[in-house]
């Protein structure tokens, strides 16, 4: 018995730590670590200077700009629209709410190529709502050049990325909103706070970390998206070519080192951005006094 | 409190629960790895079944064609040998399919869009001899095709020749040559025309290509995607596409909405076929695979090719109504001095930093 107590330091009340950690390790190892290590290994064939040359080539830079720019735009749109959607779903009872709630998950289930093709057809100048912004239309004349090209241009990529990223924000913000104690809002109101003040000082601080998480998830998902975007992007070098397409282009050569090197560049950049978002999240939590 | 069982006195602590958590975790991880390794180990060879299967790895637009070829060949083969044969087919972008075979897809035969893709399988994986193209008649291409123009009904923009495509304000739809076989043929056809129009001024050829691709608003990843953009989304004035794909668009996608313009000159596209020797040998399907490909050259195979819009090598086997669809034009081959064969054309035009990349630099216009 004595040895049991001497081992007390590593004894855990909850059993199964070794088993579950082992399964998690093999799971992550096989599905994430091994493929990622292979990517880095393959890319290392180019050497650091080779990777740098590839990463700073004008065409690569243009593609990275398109990828990161559209992904950020889409993540911003999703954070605002997704939070609003979550708010509506949680706070107001109305007929069809459950149906709307279920619809949010559709982008998860729909094959992305189908989504891309459908969106491209709808947002082309001949489709609806694409025709609303085509040349000659009232809305279109508001834009320079008399039309807003959605499909096969920058806005089209953002539309596709907004579509695939929407559930991430809704599903991260929704549970937090559900847990939010209404009494806090009521207390704030009795203390004389107006509606805007209640929102900015009571509700938003609680939601912000979840919104940031949703933003990060939607952004990461958008960055890697290929299937839907290539149908709506136009794919023209220097203009609407996304970085994942450039990777596929290299694969087609077949130039594996260049393709993997580009993947590494994207990974490192994405990792840096995720890290920044996480730091920001930790900072807001601390500043706003939520554990 | 079942989870506190280990604390009960009198019960010897199990070795398992006494081991440090990390060791246990490692053991589980190792066990999972071992199981995976065992599952991946080759299983003992099965007894040769009387029924044989063949995997034909092909490119996108050949799906309907090979479905009929497979049925016809299976019937002919069982009549001749009494053996039942099932042919499975796989379709995708030509380059992606070649990569799948290199990465281990056990294709018995490949029937791809370009010789360059089969060359890649030969040089990168050594699954077939590099001389594969000489093993079957007609450069191993039992049928050919060419690139034609599909325009909107009545040809409102009056597009007649390659030169018209570079006109300012025209929209041309063609897929991305980096990812699509059809697009490479279109690109080369345009190049062939331009280098005959400007024989002594390479700079003029390049200017023409720049002007042409400036008119391309969308570079779809594959031929089908480009067809959809043009026919369903109503984008563009002209679609550069396979002749068989143009027939299909004419008949099925929109009757009376489009018409075909055959330019005076185009390229002789030779979609080649080959037995993947290493795979066929390992699976014991060598003779069957060869017979399958030879069937493509038979009168029945040639007639089926013509039915699906491919130009058969032996036009006399095609049904008269199919034959009437193919119009005469000057066809430049890939062996033409302008290109000097696939390996050279591939490297010069489509490799990273090649001519196609250069016509898009220095950037946005």
- What is the predicted pLDDT for the residue at B47? 42
A160 in Cβ contact with A225 (< 8 Å): yes
Yes or no, beta carbons of B220 and A235 under 8 Å apart:
yes
Residues in chain B closer than 8 A to A53 (CB atoms): none
pLDDT of residue A212: 92
Secondary element (H or E) of residue B265: strand B265-267
What integer pLDDT is reported at residue B40 of this predicted model?
56
> Could you tell me which residues are beta bridge partners of residue A286?
none
Strands B238-242 and B147-152: antiparallel
A19 and B18 within 8 Å at the Cβ level: the answer is no
- Checking if the pLDDT of A175 tops 50, the result is yes
**A256 — pLDDT class (breaks 50, 70, 90):** confident
The parts of chain B modelled with pLDDT lower than 70 are 1-30, 32-49, 254, 362-365
Nearest CA-CA partner of A119 in A129, A104, A133 = A129
Tell me what pLDDT residue B340 has. Answer: 92
Q: What is the mean pLDDT of residues A242-261?
A: 86
Segments forming the whole domain that contains residue A90: 48-109+166-287
In angstroms, the CA B212 to CA B192 distance is: 13
ipTM (interface predicted TM) = 0.71
pLDDT of residue B12: 45
> pLDDT (tens digit, 9 = 90+) per residue, A42-87?
888 888 888 898 888 888 999 999 999 999 999 999 999 999 999 9
- DSSP letter at B285 equals -
A30 interaction partners in chain B (CB closer than 8 Å) = 32, 36
Residue A257 has pLDDT above 90, yes or no: no
Q: Which residues contact A53 (CB under 8 A, 6 or more apart)?
A: none
Beta bridge partners of B330: B265
Quote the CA–CA distance of A211 and A175 in Å, as a whole number: 11
CATH number, domain with residue A250:
1.10.3720.10
Q: Is residue A131 part of a domain?
A: no
CA distance A18 to A11: 11
Q: Which two tokens stand for residue B350?
A: 């489509």
- Better-scored residue on pLDDT, A250 or B361: A250
The total number of structural domains in chain A stands at 1
Residue to mutate among B28, B172, B180, B348, with most A CBs inside 10 A, is B28
With respect to residue A188, please indicate whether it lies within any of the assigned structural domains. yes
In order of their start, the domains of chain B are 52-143+271-323 (3.40.190.10), 147-267+335-360 (3.40.190.10)
Is the Cβ of A251 closer than 8 Å to some Cβ of chain B? yes
The answer as to whether A41 is a domain residue is: no
> Helix or strand or coil: residue B266?
strand
Q: B319-343 pLDDT, tens per residue? A: 999 999 999 999 999 999 999 988 8
User: How many angstroms separate the CA atoms of B139 and B306, rounded?
Assistant: 18
* CB-CB under 8 Å, B179 with A237: no
Q: What is the pLDDT of residues B32-46, one digit of tens each?
A: 666 666 555 554 444
Give a yes or no: residue A59 inside a domain.
yes
Is pLDDT above 90 for A1? Answer: no
Residue B26 with chain A: CB contacts under 8 Å:
22, 25
Question: Is A254 within 8 Å of chain B by CB?
Answer: yes
Identify whether A237 is part of a domain. yes
Q: What number of CA atoms fall less than 13 Å from residue A57's CA on the CB side?
A: 22
In a domain, A14, yes or no: no
pLDDT for residue B271 = 93
In terms of Cα–Cα distance, which of A209, A234, A249 is closest to A155? A234
Cβ distance A264 to A192 under 8 Å?
no
For residue A290, what pLDDT is reported?
A: 56
Quote the pLDDT of residue A289: 64
Q: In this predicted structure, what is the pLDDT of residue B37?
A: 61
Cβ within 8 Å of A, B 169-208: 176, 178-179
* Top mean-pLDDT range of A7-21, A122-136, B133-147: B133-147
Q: Are B293 and B70 in contact (CB under 8 A)?
A: no
Which residue, B224, B208, B144, B211, is CA-closest to B176? B224
């Amino acid at each position: 018995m004595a040895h049991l107590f001497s081992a007390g330091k590593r004894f855990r009340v909850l059993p199964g730590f070794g088993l579950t950690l082992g399964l998690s390790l093999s799971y992550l190892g096989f599905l994430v670590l091994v493929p990622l290590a292979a990517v880095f290994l393959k890319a290392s064939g180019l050497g650091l200077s080779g990777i740098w040359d590839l990463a700073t080539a004008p065409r690569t830079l243009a593609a990275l700009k398109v990828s990161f720019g559209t992904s950020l735009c889409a993540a911003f749109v999703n954070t605002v629209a997704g939070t609003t959607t979550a708010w509506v779903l949680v706070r107001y009872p109305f007929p069809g709410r459950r149906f709307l709630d279920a619809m949010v998950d559709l982008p998860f289930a729909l094959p992305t190529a189908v989504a891309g093709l459908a969106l491209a057809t709808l947002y082309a100048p001949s489709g609806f709502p694409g025709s609303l912004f085509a040349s000659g239309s009232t809305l279109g004349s508001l834009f320079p050049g008399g039309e807003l090209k959605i499909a096969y241009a920058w806005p089209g990529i953002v539309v596709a990325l907004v579509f695939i990223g929407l559930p991430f924000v809704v599903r991260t913000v929704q549970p937090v909103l559900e847990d939010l104690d209404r009494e806090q809002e009521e207390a704030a109101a009795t203390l004389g706070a107006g509606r805007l003040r209640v929102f900015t000082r009571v509700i938003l601080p609680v939601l912000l970390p979840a919104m940031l998480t949703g933003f990060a998830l939607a952004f990461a998902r958008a960055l890697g998206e290929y299937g839907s975007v290539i149908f709506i992007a136009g794919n023209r070098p220097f203009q609407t070519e996304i970085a994942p397409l450039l990777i596929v282009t290299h694969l087609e050569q077949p130039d594996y080192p260049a393709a993997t090197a580009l993947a590494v560049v994207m990974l490192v950049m994405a990792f840096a951005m995720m890290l920044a978002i996480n730091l920001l999240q930790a900072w807001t939590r601390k500043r706003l006094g939520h554990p | 409190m079942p989870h506190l069982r280990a604390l009960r006195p009198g019960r010897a602590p199990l070795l398992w629960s006494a081991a440090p958590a990390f060791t246990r975790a490692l053991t589980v991880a190792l066990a999972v790895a071992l199981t995976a390794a065992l599952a991946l180990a080759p299983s003992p060879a099965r007894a040769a079944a009387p029924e044989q299967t063949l995997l034909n790895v092909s490119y996108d637009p050949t799906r309907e064609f090979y479905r009929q070829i497979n049925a016809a060949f299976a019937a002919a083969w069982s009549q001749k040998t009494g053996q039942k044969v099932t042919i499975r087919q796989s379709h995708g972008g030509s380059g992606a399919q070649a990569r799948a075979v290199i990465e281990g897809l056990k294709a018995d035969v490949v029937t791809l869009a370009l010789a360059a893709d089969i060359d890649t399988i030969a040089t990168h994986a050594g699954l077939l001899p590099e001389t594969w193209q000489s093993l079957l008649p007609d450069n191993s291409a039992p049928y050919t095709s060419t690139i034609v123009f599909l325009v909107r009904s009545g040809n409102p923009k009056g597009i007649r020749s390659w030169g018209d495509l570079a006109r300012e304000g025209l929209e041309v739809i063609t897929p991305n040559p980096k990812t699509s076989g059809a697009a490479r043929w279109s690109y080369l056809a345009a190049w062939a025309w331009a280098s005959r129009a400007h024989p002594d001024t390479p700079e003029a050829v390049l200017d023409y290509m720049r002007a042409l691709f400036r008119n391309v608003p969308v570079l779809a990843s594959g031929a089908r995607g480009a067809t959809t953009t043009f026919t369903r989304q109503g984008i563009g004035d002209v679609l550069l596409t396979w002749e068989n794909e143009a027939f299909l668009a004419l008949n099925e996608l929109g009757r009376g909405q489009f018409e075909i313009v055959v330019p005076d000159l185009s390229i002789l596209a030779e979609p080649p076929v080959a037995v993947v020797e290493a795979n066929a040998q390992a699976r014991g399907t060598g003779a069957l695979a060869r017979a399958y490909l030879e069937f493509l050259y038979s009168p029945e195979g040639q007639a089926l090719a013509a039915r699906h819009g491919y130009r058969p090598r032996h036009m006399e086997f095609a049904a008269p109504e199919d034959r009437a669809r193919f119009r005469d034009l000057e066809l430049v081959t890939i062996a033409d001095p302008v290109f000097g064969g696939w390996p050279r054309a591939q490297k010069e035009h489509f490799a990273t930093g090649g001519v196609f990349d250069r016509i898009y630099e220095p950037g946005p216009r």
